[in-house]
Amino acid sequence: MPMLSFLRVAAAVPELRVADCRFNAERTLDLLRDAEERGVRVAVFPECGLTGYTCHDLFHQPTLLRSAENALETLLSAADMCFSGVGIVGLPLSLDGMVFNCAAVFRGGKLLGIVPKTYLPNYKEFYDARYFAPARNALSHTMTLAGQTVPFGTDLLFECDTSPGFVLGVEICEDVWMPVAPSAIQAVNGATVLANLSASNEAIGKAAYRRQLVAGQSGRCVAGYIYASSGVGESTTDIVFGGHAMIAENGSILSESPRFQRTGQLLVADLDLQHIERDRHVGTTFNESHSEPGLKRSFRRVRFSIPNAERPDVLARTTDAHPFVPSDPATLRERCEEIFHTQVAGLAKRLEHIGKPNVSIGVSGGLDSTLALLVLCKTLDAIGAPRAKILALTMPGFGTTRRTKGNAQSLMALLGTTARETDIREMCMQQMRALGHSPFGISLVGETGESLGEKLRMLPAERRHDLVFENVQARMRTSLLMNSGFTIGTGDLSELALGWCTYNADHMSMYNPNVSIPKTLVKFLVRWAAENEFDGDVRATLLDVVDTEISPELLPTAADGSIAQSTEATIGPYELHDFFLYHFLRWVSPPDKIFYLAKQAKFDRAWTPAEIQKWLRMFVTRFFSSQFKRSCLPDGPKVGSVSLSPRGDWRMPSDAAALAWLESVDHIQEIF
């Protein structure tokens, strides 16, 4: 089966003996065999890997040059049987009366092309210009090597016919350290995967700089980047090499080797060509570079084919089950601090612009309203306004529990807001009477909110569904808030994606600091605020809020007063929905790929494949049917790479058909 846009690549660092080309070819073949067993389609080796980079004046010896060519012939002959992907090895080659530092690109026994090094370092410990000629000095555009006439030059791109979106560009070591690297020009002209054959020695701090360089180049080029550097077998006369290998994609390091290993290494990762395509489609400024003088070049396209790989059971890349929540505690703390202060900055600007008015906010004792209240308090502190200007309303209804009500009351008092409690049950009864509505078939004649609540608690669970009953409560709360002051919204990104909000009720506000924060992150933000921004009783209350089950509390409580309406039992786990949302919006992944990635993230340990498929169908259905709610969202700050603002990241017709996506969901079991 197809790999769903993944391309398995490798950065290889074989054992090496300086100037022993036969040995080096054998060790290269060892890693090619290993690469074949692991399903690798592209294997990149170090600079001058067939001779060693530290041969120095031996590069002008005909014996070494001839040995290098013989080693390449041996490699090609054997590779035809042991490796079905594309290999790239480094060696010195004589052409036009000059010696060039080259990368030989091959598929099986066929040479696809030879790419010479563009920039030759000639400073400090580097003397490349003593041994080699720069690419620009070449007179020929082809050369005969291993009995084959092949293209020669820096104007080569290698395009795969059997793996859509895979176009390979090659550069050598110093090339990527330049202000305008050859890989940048290659990417502008269509290369999606970039290979660098390197010989970068070790020095204090240099590995960190290389890491930044490779990650940054993959980000600027919107490409995959495979970097393989010479290992400890190189000469140590003056310098030491560590065999640093890295694979990056769109600005992130996917995999990195340990350095100073004394055995051969094969660093493997799966590039996602769809990620590259998506960011190039969306990032229009990248494509504008096509018209920049000097960047748009005439490249020769060398076409080749490789066998289609089977979809692996386990990807050679990390699939984060919680893409919005960093797994590293230090990174998570930093992320939460940045988001919280972004929320405060956005709200502060809005309140200052309109004259620091009185503000109103609904406080339910749940996660979302708690986070918004904390942001609001810190915002008023920042703009020098008293917290008493906050009218914090808790509005208990038919489903409010003692726990959430108690937490709401505690927070409002402890944070120094102007607190008010308004029981909305009688007001909702009046509205339902005016509508002639009998919730759950119960007549409202002679009933009070208290007595109705008692009757509703006695109903069996299967009868507890009445949309009007729920919507009246939600809209009553919003009406009170809107009439009380400048209203701060509390709904989050996940609820907007699923349409889990009442139109013109909790869906609406005058500014919403939570609007682009997913539910899985809201919990960590509240916990971070408890541990870093507040203390004492406030901290204790916040931690209890974090531990409270998520519920809209619109249906009557259970007999013991506990929550009877679980959000996640109704619409599915937010853990899954946030995962679906991230891959659907950030990477435009189709449903079958999202399902595959969910299994890679180990969700199938908590839910069966059928359950994951069920909730994915729920996500797609609700996402498409709820766009009308997102088309009129109030203002709020974008804090991450995923947002549903109709003015910014997401513009979608409210009546778009979901049929194609749902059909993809329904066929998942057939595919997998």
The CATH code of the domain that includes 405 is: 3.40.50.620
pTM over 0.75: yes
- 472 and 536 co-located in one domain: yes
Helix spans in 95-234 (H): 128-131, 182-188, 206-221
- Identify the domain boundary among 500, 532, 558: 558
- At 2 the pLDDT is 45
Q: What pLDDT does 450 receive? A: 81
* 667 sits in which H/E element: none
Q: Measuring CA to CA, which residue among 364, 339, 642 is closest to residue 493?
A: 642
539 within domain boundaries: yes
- Tell me, yes or no, whether 321 lies in a domain: no
Of the candidates 15, 21, 47, 389, the residue annotated as catalytic is: 47
Q: Residue 470 pLDDT > 70, yes or no?
A: yes
Answer yes or no: is pLDDT of 344 > 60: yes
468 in Cβ contact with 435 (< 8 Å): yes
| pLDDT, mean of residues 381-388 | 97
- Residue 174's H or E segment, with its range, is none
- Check residue 352 and give its pLDDT: 97
Q: How confident is the model at residue 458 (pLDDT cuts 50, 70, 90)?
A: confident
Residues 122 and 69 occupy one common structural domain: yes
Burial degree of 655 (CB within 10 A; 0-12, 13-18, 19+): exposed
Q: What percentage of the chain has pLDDT greater than the value 70?
A: 96
Q: Would you state the pLDDT for residue 29?
A: 98
Residues composing the chain: 672
Q: How far is CA 312 from CA 42, 315, 588, 665, in A?
A: 16, 6, 21, 20
Q: For residue 166, is pLDDT > 80?
A: yes
- Last residue in a domain, options 262, 286, 304: 304
Residue 625 burial (C-beta neighbours within 10 Å; 0-12, 13-18, 19+): middle
Say what the pLDDT of residue 93 is.
98
Distance CA 553, CA 364 (A): 9
Rg over CA atoms, the chain: 31
Residues 153-176 have a mean pLDDT of: 97
| Kind and range of the H or E run holding 142 | strand 142-145
- With bands split at pLDDT 50, 70 and 90, how would you rate the model's confidence at 1? very low
576 and 527, same structural domain? no
pLDDT at 618 over 90: yes
**Triad 183, 145, 49: Cα angle to 5°:** 55
Q: What CATH number is attached to the domain comprising 194? A: 3.60.110.10
Give 541-569 pLDDT, tens digit per residue.
999 999 988 776 656 666 666 665 678 88
The pLDDT of residue 463: 63
Range 315-332 average pLDDT = 95
For residues 182 and 146, is the Cβ–Cβ distance under 8 A? no
Residues 103 and 165 in one domain: yes
Parallel, antiparallel, or unpaired for β 142-145 and 252-256? Answer: unpaired
Residue at a domain's end among 504, 524, 558 = 558
> Based on the domain organization, do 359 and 502 belong to the same domain?
yes
Please tell me the predicted confidence (pLDDT) of residue 286.
86
pLDDT > 80? residue 524: yes
Single-letter amino acid, residue 28: T
Instruction: Give the pair of three-digit tokens for residue 397.
Output: 């209804």
Q: Is residue 1 part of a domain?
A: no
Q: What is the 3-state secondary structure (H, E, C) of 288-306?
A: HHHHCCCCCCCCEEEEECC
Give catalytic status of residue 117 as yes or no.
yes
Q: Which of 15, 21, 69, 117 is catalytic?
A: 117
| Crossing angle (nearest 10°) for helices 329-353 and 367-382 | 60
Residue spans of beta strands (DSSP E) within 397-520: 418-421, 486-487
Residues 295 and 354 in one domain: no
- Is-contact 664 592, C-beta < 8 A? yes
pLDDT at 36: 97
Q: Are residues 286 and 357 in the same domain?
A: no
- For residues 365 and 508, membership in a common domain is answered with yes
What is the domain-level CATH number for residue 607? 1.10.10.1140
Burial of 374 (0-12, 13-18, 19+ CB in 10 A): buried
* 195 backbone dihedrals φ, ψ, rounded to 5°: -115, 135
Q: What is the mean pLDDT of residues 340-358?
A: 97
Q: Which of 21, 48, 173, 377 is catalytic?
A: 173
Which residue is it, tokens 């669970």?
A: 461
Query: Is position 455 annotated as part of the catalytic site?
Result: no
Distance set, CA 357 to CA 332, 391, 438, 508 (Å):
34, 11, 40, 19
Verify that 273 and 336 share a domain, yes or no. no
350 and 272, same structural domain? no
**314 inside domain:** no
Q: Are 490 and 506 in contact (CB under 8 A)?
A: yes
Type of residue found at 475: R
Angle at 121 between CA 117 and CA 127, to 5 degrees: 105
Residue 617 lies in a domain: yes
Mean pLDDT taken over the chain: 94
Degrees, nearest 5: CA angle 245-249-250: 140
**Identity of the amino acid at 156:** L
Q: Which whole number is the average pLDDT over 419-436? A: 94
Tokens at 382, concatenated: 């920042």
Enclosing domain of residue 293: 6-304
Angle CA 482–629–667, to nearest 5: 155
Domain count, the chain: 3
- For residue 318, being part of any structural domain is answered with no
From CA 36, how far away is CA 522, in angstroms rounded? 44
**Arithmetic mean of pLDDT, 79-92:** 96
Active site residue 501: no
What does the block give as tokens for 250?
């769109």
Classify residue 41 as exposed, middle or buried by CB count within 10 Å of its CB (0-12, 13-18, 19+). buried
For residue 382, the model assigns a pLDDT of: 97
Residue 552's pLDDT is 60
- Residue 596 in any domain: the answer is yes
Residues 22 and 170 in one domain: yes
Residues 493-518 pLDDT 10s: 999 999 999 999 999 999 999 999 99
Instruction: Tell me the H-state helices in 193-290.
Output: 206-221, 273-282, 284-288
For residues 292-315, give the mean pLDDT: 89
Residues 487 and 399 in one domain: yes
Q: Is residue 310 part of a domain?
A: no
The model's confidence at residue 460, banded by pLDDT at 50, 70 and 90, is low
- pLDDT band of residue 464 (cuts 50, 70, 90) is low
